Structure 1
Amino acid sequence: MQEPTEKVSRPGNRLAPVRLLVALSGGAEDAALVRSAHRLAIRDGVNWCAAYVDSERENPHRREVLEQDFAQVQRLGGETRVIAGQDRARELAALARELKVATLLVGHARPSGWRIWRRPVAERLARLGGPFDLVVVAEARQRPRFRPRQREIQWRWRDPVVAAASTLAALGLAAGLESWLELGNLSLLFLGAVLVSAMLAGTRSAMLAALLGFVGFNFFLTDPRHSLAMVEQDQVVTVVVYLLVAVVVGQLAGSARKRLLALRASREQTYQLLAFSRELAVATHREQVEAAGVATLVRWLGCPVVMLCATDESGDMTPAQSAPEGTTLDAGAMTAVAWSRLHLRPSGKGTQQPMDTNWQIIPLLEQNRLVALMGLALGQRERPPSPDEEGQIDAMLRLLALALERTRLVADLEASRLSEENERLRSALLSSVSHDLRTPLASIIGSASTLRDLRDQLTDSDRAELLDGILSESERLDRYIQNLLDMTRLGQGGLKLERDWISLDDLVASAIRRLSPLLQGLEVQREWPAELPLLHVHPALIEQALVNVIENAARYSPPGGSLRIEAGLDSGKLWLTVTDQGPGIEPHLRERVFDMFITGGEGDRGRQGSGLGLAICRGMLGAHAGTIAAEPGPEGQGTRIVMHLPLPDVMEVSDDHAD
């Protein structure tokens, strides 16, 4: 039984055909009918669908019951369909053939109203027949005795006014054309009055216009005049036929007007939902979604709206958005909020859990998870919302819940992405540090242990060589640690510029002196004008950046190769280049080499790089408003690293020192 339950629990599954169709009527028996269909679907392991034939004559109460029935069907894993038609049995039989269902489930109940002459739907379906099994579910409880419901007809002032005005206009035209037209043709004028009344005011106004036309036509146009009596038989036939045609035409025109108004209202609601969904789609953060949702509901409902944040982890309920600004909930509304948060159901005004408040509290749920709580001051409106308005409110709140859940998922995804990025950087750092620090430490330990254990057996030249190795590896280790410290300071914004005047000659000489062991066997060429101005920079930072660039160039230069350091002035900036004779950098990597931990086995990114040196250069030069870039070397051989440093105005530097 577990597998069939899983099959039917997914509404809208189009992979498997619908095998069970249940016919809803909008009555009290539908709840039991839906439960029976769900049990049969689970037992047989099939998909099922609930259908309703809409004749467009349903009252608001029946629509409300149908919405509840459809909601129950969707919760139980079924599909829902609404079919427009007048003959319920024929429409259901046609749908059953279209879906190729195996079983059609209907309820057994007496027809409603005075239409006791109509046969039950089950009997009419049995007469129509079809390639399906017809199952009739009887009501479990005793149906109360039928009593006709007295419905109060609410007349609007517009209905009689339109009917009277159109009838008087038709009577005036008929009086003016009486000498030209026959009596039968004059009746068409009153028929036109019925159509005008139906189009302007509806069916009730059309029926009133038909009655007024019948009386006016008989009283003013038939002999004897000013009397309801008729002598000639053709006049009787004309008046009676007019009345029958007027009643039929008025009903049809009123029904067409009602459908047109319903279509316009549906189009307006669809447009509002589309505009609302567009506003939510462009909102990227939760605050924007909340503001758009509250503003739209206030504009459409015309009553105060409050949105409250509610999480599953704590019981705190914090107002997130309210409109108009400063709107608060009263004590009864807060009680309703607490109840709705606990039971995940609406409460307050107009719900099954009424409270002493004008607010209606609706929980926004997504996959049984509480997203937020929406408070609507529906009790402050002049009239309660209609069933159509309630349906639109429900649709808007569903869209709002989806948008809020989307922002939460986006935030979680971003947090997960940042966590993965941090973890990747942490792994790269540990991998780089473990390699770059272990190699010089191993050399230092090996040389120091050799000096300690074999000190008497070593010659003076051997001891000096070992000490030089210890010093060289210690300086190398110091550079790695300095790079890590500088990168940390750059990332945390703790790098302070203590500027001083220094010449380019001193910077280059100091950097080459620090790298002298690494530059052995390489020819270092220096070329720049002697009249270069002094630089107003942080000497240690620029020197470290230059050390990183020269070290990177020396590491990938072939033995016996040359390094070329050039400098010059261009548009108020000092440019400095370091060119090597190494294998070069691929074009697609020339920008990425300045990112952290970008290591590889090709070109200038190779076997002994931590991926921090050039990244630190970019940060240090950027702190001085400078730039660094990688270009191909002369004739496509090697790499040229180009650095630019701005030359400050002398007056600006003097003002800075004065401050």
Structure 2
Amino acid sequence: MKYKVIYEEHKNFMIKHLNYSIRLILICSISTILSIAMSNAGIGKENALMVFLVGVLTVTSFTRGYIYGAVAGVLSVLLFNYFLTQPIHTLIISYSQDFILIVFFLIASLISSTMTSKFQYQTEVAKNNERTARLLYEITRGFLNVTGKENIILKGINFISDYVGYYCYVKLDDEEKIFFTPGIDADYIETNQKDLYKIPIKGVAKEIGTMGIIDIKLPMSSENNMIIKTIVYQMALVLDREFIYDEREKIKIAMESERLKSTLLRSVSHDLRTPLTGIVGSSELILDSYDNLDLKSIRKLVSDIKEESIWLIKSVQNILDMTRISEGKLTVNKNYEAVDDLINQALTHMPHLTSSCRFHVFVPDDIIIVMVDGRLIVQVLVNILDNAYKHTNEETQIQLKVYKSGNNVVFEVSDNGDGIDPTIMDTLFDGFVTYHKNIVDGSRGVGLGLAICKAIITAHNGVISASNKKNGGAIFKVLLPIEEI
């Protein structure tokens, strides 16, 4: 394989220089013919010599390197001497002025060919520099908006293949997977180990991995070497950026997790302590003063214990539900449920609300059937109604209204109180939002109720929203899709 490549290179070299030689002979022949014609026409030999000079410059323009120009100059001198100086058809020079003319012509032709060759070389260098600069710009721009480790690596491999023409592979230090140029694999690398050129991919702080250039048959040109190293350098920068971003995200997630844990522990320890203190206090009072308490007082203390216990159960249930939601383990078991039954179940959990004169329910006369998880929807209604009850005063009227809107059933809980504070409106359905003056899990609670409501409704492909009414008060809406039975 290696000898075949060398043979092809040698063959191309010979063909190129054969073409240059043919051009040299052809141009010198034309110059000679024109010069002889001018001489026969009576035009001086000095003008004929200019034709040879133009021929030398033409040879230099149509070939590469000053060698062919120099050969053309020497050959033109010999042809001029042989065909146009006395004695003709010999290489003898009889007149000193012809000798001086030939010497100055040779010097002029050599200088002209040399300068033309240098100009060609500088032009070629400028073109190569322009091409290299354009390639480097395209490489830099190509990596600009690439994200993801695999996409970055594949982009670098494609650049190597497109701009340099080599097979390559990339191996990151922290991964087992090796990325190859399409069409090769690990076996190909094994069979070409001696033609392998490894380049480390170095980040800012450490070495990220290695790129291997495969199948290098001949010494690599400086231009290709620069392009390859630029691609590797740009890849290292972008991978470094990706690693830094991933680390930052991990730190951010860890900090957020710690913040949530701290907030949860603080809220739980604070808010659960209040009902537990009430339960313990009422229990101790009954035990210590049982003989001195009348039946009405005992009933009141037992009722307080029950109310505080129910509140504790709800809080623990909310915490458990939020844990399942955060872990993606919220299970929705849908069945056909009548809206009236859902409302009745929710109200049985809230005797303190239904017994008050400030609560009103409006349901449609028609039976509305929805495909939902009944337990979870009841929990949503209980949380929203409980918020409305806890965060409004005794004069505030609370209303639960149910109606159809297109292909949705709408549960609407509203009041005529102070409404929701604008400072927490945007974060109302986030976890741990508490505010003692508004309709949100606040004075008692860990601020999870509305966040759980949103997760449950989203799992049902529904929508939950909250807003303030123009004439005062807050309004919560839950939209659930109605499916055909």
Pairwise same-fold verdict (TM > 0.5): yes
Please state whether the residue corresponding to 2:291 is helix, strand or coil: coil
Q: Is 2:161–2:181's contact at 8 Å kept on the other side of the alignment?
A: no
Deviation, 1:446, is 1.6
CA distance in 2, matches of 1:169, 1:580: 106
Q: Secondary structure at the match of 2:351?
A: coil
What are structure 1's unaligned runs of at least 5 residues?
1-154, 334-356, 651-659
Alignment CA distance shift 1:598-1:186 (3 Å): farther
Residue 614 of structure 1 aligns with an amino acid whose one-letter code is: L
State whether structure 2 residue 33 is matched by structure 1 residue 172. yes
Q: How far apart are the structure 1 equivalents of 2:420 and 2:309?
A: 29
Partner of 2:466: 630
Cα deviation digits, residues 518-574 of structure 1 (max 9, x gap): 566560122232114233322211111000111111222122110011121111211
For residues 519 and 434 of structure 1, what CA distance do their matches in structure 2 show?
30
Match of 1:163 in 2: 24
Paired with 1:293 and 1:283, the residues of 2 have a C-alpha distance of 11
Closer, same or farther: CA 164–547 of 1 in aligned 2, 3 Å = same
Q: Does the alignment pair 1:464 with 2:299? A: yes
Partner of 1:657: none
Partner amino acid for 2:54? G
Instruction: Choose which of 591, 606, 610 in structure 1 pairs with 2:446.
Output: 610
Q: CA deviation at 1:199?
A: 2.9
Q: Deviations 1:253-304 (Å, cap 9, x if unpaired)?
A: 1111111111211222222222222333332111112222223223444343
In the other structure, the counterpart of 2:6 is none
Task: Return the letter of the residue paired with 1:168.
Answer: S
1:363 corresponds to:
200
Q: CA deviation at 1:591?
A: 4.4
Q: Does the alignment pair 1:183 with 2:45?
A: yes
Residues 197 and 205 of structure 1 are in contact (CA less than 8 Å); yes or no, is this contact kept in structure 2? yes
Instruction: Name the SS of the counterpart of 1:223 in structure 2.
Output: coil
Counterpart CA distance in 2 for 1:646 and 1:419 is 37
1:311-460 to 2 correspondences below 5 Å: 311=174, 319-328=178-187, 329-330=189-190, 333=193, 357-367=194-204, 369-379=206-216, 381=217, 383-460=218-295
Deviations 1:501-521 (A, max 9, x none): 443333223323322325665
Q: 1:215: how far off?
A: 1.9
Tell me how far apart the structure 1 counterparts of residues 54 and 421 of structure 2 sit (CA, whole Å): 86
RMSD, aligned α-carbons: 2.7
The residue identity in structure 1 corresponding to 2:184 is E
| Distance change >3 Å, CA 206–CA 640, structure 1 → 2 | same
Q: Return the match for 2:375 from 540, 543, 561.
A: 540
For 1:258, the equivalent position in structure 2 comes to 121
**Worse overlay, 536-545 or 579-588:** 579-588
- Aligned AA for 2:180? Q
Q: What is the CA–CA distance in structure 2 between the aligned matches of 1:516 and 1:378, rounded to whole Å?
A: 82
Paired residues of 2:347 and 2:382 also in contact (CA < 8 A): yes
Preserved CA contact (<8 Å) 2:376 2:456: yes
Question: Cα distance 1:406–1:500, how it changes in 2: closer, same or farther (>3 A)?
Answer: closer
**Matching residue's letter, 1:622:** T
Q: How is 1:118-157 mapped onto 2 (pairs within 5 angstroms)?
A: 156-157=17-18
- Deviation sequence 1:80-139 (CA, Å, 0-9, x none): xxxxxxxxxxxxxxxxxxxxxxxxxxxxxxxxxxxxxxxxxxxxxxxxxxxxxxxxxxxx
Structure 1 residue matching 2:443: 3-state secondary structure: coil
Provide the residue aligned with 2:5 in structure 1: none
Q: 1:205 to 1:549 in 2, by over 3 A?
A: same
Task: Give SS of 1:325's match.
Answer: coil
Asked if the contact 2:410–2:477 (Cα under 8 Å) also holds between the matched residues in 1, the reply is yes
Distance in 1, matches of 2:222 and 2:66, equals 21
Match of 2:477 among 642, 646, 650: 642
Matches of 2:294 and 2:173, distance apart in 1 = 79
- Match 1:193 to one of 48, 51, 55: 55
- Conserved? CA contact 1:508–1:543, under 8 Å: yes
Question: What amino acid is aligned across from residue 512 of structure 1 in structure 2?
Answer: L
C-alpha distance in 1 between matches for 2:455 and 2:204: 47
Contact between 2:457 and 2:463, CA under 8 Å: does it hold in 1?
yes
Q: Percent identity?
A: 25
Question: Which structure dedicates a bigger proportion of its chain to helix?
Answer: 2
Q: Matches of 1:317 and 1:537 in 2, distance apart?
A: 46
Matching residue of 1:15: none
Q: In 2, are the aligned partners of 1:532 and 1:568 still within 8 Å (CA)?
A: no
Separation in 2 of the partners of 1:368 and 1:613? Answer: 46
Q: Deviations over 1:591-616 (max 9, x none)?
A: 43112223346643443342211111
Q: Give the Cα separation in 2 of the matches to 1:377 and 1:626.
A: 56
Q: Which residue of 2 aligns with 1:552?
A: 387
Q: Distance in 1 between matches of 2:419 and 2:132?
A: 64
**TM-score between both structures, scaled by the size of structure 2:** 0.87
Deviations along 1:355-374, one digit per CA (max 9) or x if unpaired, are: xx222223222346221122
Secondary structure of the residue aligned to 2:220 is coil
Unaligned runs of 5+ in 2: 1-15
Tell which deviates more after alignment, 610-619 or 538-547. Answer: 610-619
Contact 2:318-2:452 at 8 Å conserved across structures? yes
Task: Compute the displacement of 1:634 (Å).
Answer: 4.4
- 2:66 corresponds in structure 1 to 203
Q: Distance in 1 between matches of 2:438 and 2:184?
A: 62
Q: Secondary structure at the match of 1:441?
A: helix
In structure 2, C-alpha distance between the alignment counterparts of 1:378 and 1:628, rounded to whole Å: 62
Structure 1 residue 640: Cα displacement: 0.7
Q: Which has the higher contact order (CA 8 A, sep 6+)?
A: 2
**Contact residue 192 and residue 215 of structure 2 kept, 8 A:** no
Q: Deviations over 1:137-179 (max 9, x none)?
A: xxxxxxxxxxxxxxxxxx9334433333332233333334443
Q: Which residue does 1:597 correspond to in 2?
A: 432
CA deviations 1:46-95 (Å, max 9, x no partner) are xxxxxxxxxxxxxxxxxxxxxxxxxxxxxxxxxxxxxxxxxxxxxxxxxx
Q: How many Å apart are 1:232 and its aligned residue? A: 4.2
Q: SS at 1:283's partner residue?
A: coil
Q: How many residues align?
A: 466
What SS does structure 2 have at the residue aligned with 1:230? coil
Contact 1:290/1:321, CA 8 A, preserved across alignment = no
Q: Does the 8 Å CA contact 1:298/1:323 hold for their aligned counterparts?
A: no
- 1:289: which partner in 2? 152
Q: Which of 91, 98, 103 is the equivalent residue of 1:228?
A: 91
Corresponding position of 1:237:
100
Structure 1 pair 531–159 and aligned structure 2 pair: CA distance change class (3 A): same
Equivalent residues of 1:307, 1:322 under 8 A apart: no
* 2:419 is the counterpart of 1:584: yes
Q: Distance in 2 between matches of 1:392 and 1:648?
A: 61
Alignment check: 8 A CA contact 1:548 1:617 kept: yes
